[in-house]
A and B are shown apart, each in its own frame.
Chain A
Amino acid sequence: MRQLILTACTWVLCTFSSAAETPDIDQIVDTHVLPGYERLVSLAQDLTAAANLDCSLDNDTLRTAYHDAFDAWVSVSHLRFGPSEQSNRAFALAFWPDTRGVTPRTLSAMIAAEDNVLETPDVFATASVAARGFYALEFLLYDPAFADQTTADYRCLLVQAIALDIERNAAAILSDWRTGYADLMRQAGQNETYRSDLEAAQQFFTSLSTGLEFTSDMRLGRPMGTFDRPRPNRAEVRRSGRSLRHVVLSLRATRDLARLLSDGDATLDAAFARSLQLANDLNDPVFAGVSTPQGRFEVEALKQSIDDIRALVATQLGPKLGVAAGFNSLDGD
């Protein structure tokens, strides 16, 4: 029941007629959005360079570059609108959750057939999103089943193609922000995309609440499963040991956005601090502990603390701003 209500509260559509405090949209764009994408582009360039230099699996430089670039992506992954939605860029960077195991299936088929989709970056950009981006790259770099495939040359070309595709998508998002989208938000009220400051504020508010919902329901909820049937194998990026790291990174990023939206509201910030403390204390990098009562209890406590932030966002911050979250991609099944 609780689950249902909290899901409901993310699409809360009500508006609040009381006097609203408009957040500083310029500041959010300049200190939160643009630097985040600049970091992603820079680290994605490093990843491409590392893959081109040496694509062997035991190459620590490549793995470090992969982790760094992926960190940068997770830190902007809540900004699912505008340039990141254009041309399915965000999906191509990050196809997860993969509830039907499409990524390993697609990669295997591609490798087995030595699919000529690697010919040029433009052709690769037409490939299934399941075989592109950070999550596909994780299988290639960390799953022994792929390391054992005999077509090592093709695997290497595939790693390089995915890295370059990540860089191109990241660069395209940043470019769109710089060459127009940032201005649409700064000049809200003077264009059709954002007809008022309130609509621009609502966009960021939706990003905040959707980012928190994703972390709670997907990053934590999927491996937790049910008490009788925990699903540790569903933990996000468990092969590279990054599951908990994603929770921490997304909490940090959404905390920053929450500060900017709330003008540094202390109660809300304290709620984030509490979640981050629980995450830091959780000695379970891939949530393997969800199968044991104690381990599950700890993951559940972390999830609950994030749901508490979501409650504050919906009932305190929303009314304060005079907005509520719009629809998001998690609204369906």
Chain B
Amino acid sequence: MKWISCAKCSLAVLLGLGSGAMADEQGGKTAVLNTYADIAQAKYNDSLILAERLKTAVDALVAAPSAEALQNAKDAWVAARVPYQQSEVYRFGNPIVDDWEGKVNAWPLDEGLIDYVDASYGGPSDENDFAVLNVVANPSFVLSGQQIDATTITPALLSETLHEADGIEANVATGYHAIEFLLWGQDLNGHGPGAGNRPWTDFATDDACTNGNCDRRAQYLQAATDLLISDLEWITAQWAAEGEARTTLLADENAGIIAILTGMGSLSYGEQAGERMRLGLMLNDPEEEHDCFSDNTHNSHYYDGLGIQNVYLGEYVRIDGTIVSGPSVSDLVVATDPELDAEMQEKLSATMMALGRIKTAAEAGFAYDQMLERGNEAGEALIMGGVNGLIDQTRSIERVVAALDLDQIEFEGSDSLDNPDAVFQ
């Protein structure tokens, strides 16, 4: 990987693409992009390793169901989220990631598509005819006028037929949150303490089976876990030496740096501060939390924030403790405007402190869905602390973009953008 980047920068010099100083600067940007790609590869590879451990635990649960085996699978799921959430900062800047991520981390979901739900969940909604399809209980059903044979629940059935069925995003059939629902079940505690409490007997193979169709439920869980692994294998490969994500990123240095900053800013502002944190608070809805079945939302938010920070600093701690690091956006900013770099670092640290407070309180027993309750001032203050930190750091990210003078972005493939005069022809 390093060799490739050096080959590229020397090629740039050979082609006379700039003065010596410019070449240095361009080499600097390429080095930053390589660090960013290396960290992406490490994060997805770590996610893959932990998904494989999750599979081991799931297989053990299915082979010999017990309370302990279910708990082991839940623990493996929680661990698997640690590197994955740190990878979310790659989404919005890299179309290849954004187009793919819905397979693995789509949320929120109408879980009645997958398995039995409580009566309070309701029936089909205005937005979704399949909100209570319940594939686990139904080996055959009609979907958009077509008879579907679901006698065997396979990865292909989940990914090609069920996922986003009828074009509805809430029909989430695959990924972390589908697996989360199968392991935990619905959290029926509202704003009270406690997560989903699915009995291990939902996977029992004999008369002990609760809620019916335990064999199909187990089949679904295994299929979804297998699919998660194959999806993570694919994205990890895209970040390898000749992978498409890496080559696309490296094709244009300025566009690549913009991709990094776009991912940081979009995740900070529109996605995390807005959709995932502030919205839930404004709606006072205990279901409006990212990991609503497991009550692991505090960790999802924390590791999202950490991913933004470690991409800026160019330093990621892998799940085995080794460190992937190299030249970073921070280094580029230092060279241009050291004060701005200090500001950016300070804001990112402040956000991590605020997200850390949410995590600390949650781990001590004050769950995220309790914080969302109407009139819960302490919970609101905790969540708004995170929101404000994320919004505040977005302003500095915008300033970083301005300071780095990244020139025009490319608008490939759009007549009206490439040639505005064409608009009126």
Residue ID in chain A nearest B403 by CB atoms: A15
**In the docked arrangement, what's the CA distance between A102 and B196, Å?**
22
Other-chain contact of B283, A4, A126, A128, A319 (Cβ < 8 Å): A128
Q: Is the CB of A333 within 8 A of B423?
A: no
State whether the Cβ of A99 lies closer than 8 Å to any Cβ in chain B: yes
Q: Which residue of A lies closest to B407 (CB)?
A: A14
With beta carbons under 8 angstroms apart, the residue of A9, A91, A195 that contacts B282 is A91
In whole Å, how far is A244's beta carbon from the nearest beta carbon of chain B? 21
Q: In the complex, A126 Cα to B375 Cα: how many Å? A: 6
Interface residues of A toward B: which range? 35 or more
Q: Are A13 and B283 in contact (CB under 8 A)?
A: no
Enumerate chain B residues within 8 angstroms of A226, measured Cβ to Cβ: 167
- Residue in A closest to B401 when the chains form the complex, CB atoms: A13
Q: Is B44 an interface residue (CB 8 A)?
A: no
> How far is the CB of B89 from the nearest CB of chain A, in Å?
13
What A residues does B265 contact at CB under 8 A?
A: 11, 13, 326-327, 331
In the complex, B406 has a CB within 8 A of chain A: yes
- With beta carbons under 8 angstroms apart, the residue of A15, A95, A312, A315 that contacts B411 is A315
Number of A-B contacts defined by CB within 8 Å = 140
For B107, the closest partner residue in chain A by CB is A333
Spot the interface stretch: B70-78, B228-236, B267-275: B267-275
Tell me which residues from 106 to 141 in chain B have a Cβ below 8 Å from any Cβ of chain A: 108, 125-127
Pairwise interchain contact B414-A5, C-beta atoms closer than 8 A: yes
Given contacts A14-B407, A316-B420, A327-B397, contact A333 B285 (CB under 8 A): no
User: Interface of chain A, helix or strand or loop or mixed?
Assistant: helix
Interface string of A118-159 (1 = CB under 8 A from B): 000000001111100000000000000000000000000000
A11-B92 Cα distance, complex, nearest whole Å: 10
A29 CB–B CB distance under 8 Å = no
Q: Determine whether the beta carbon of B278 is less than 8 Å from that of A14.
A: no
A94 to B366, CA, bound (A): 31
**Which residue from chain A places its CB closest to the CB of B408 in the assembled complex?**
A14
A229 touches B408 (CB 8 A): no
Q: Identify the 8 closest CB pairs spanning chains A and B, nearest first.
A: A331-B270, A332-B271, A332-B270, A331-B266, A13-B401, A129-B282, A311-B416, A308-B423
Binding site for A on B (CB under 8 A): 92, 95, 108, 125-127, 166-167, 169-170, 254, 258, 261-262, 265-272, 274-276, 278, 282-285, 374-375, 394, 397-399, 401-402, 405-409, 411-414, 416-417, 420, 423-424
Q: Can you identify 8 A-B contacts, CB atoms within 8 angstroms?
A: A17-B407, A92-B282, A229-B166, A307-B416, A327-B397, A331-B92, A333-B169, A333-B271
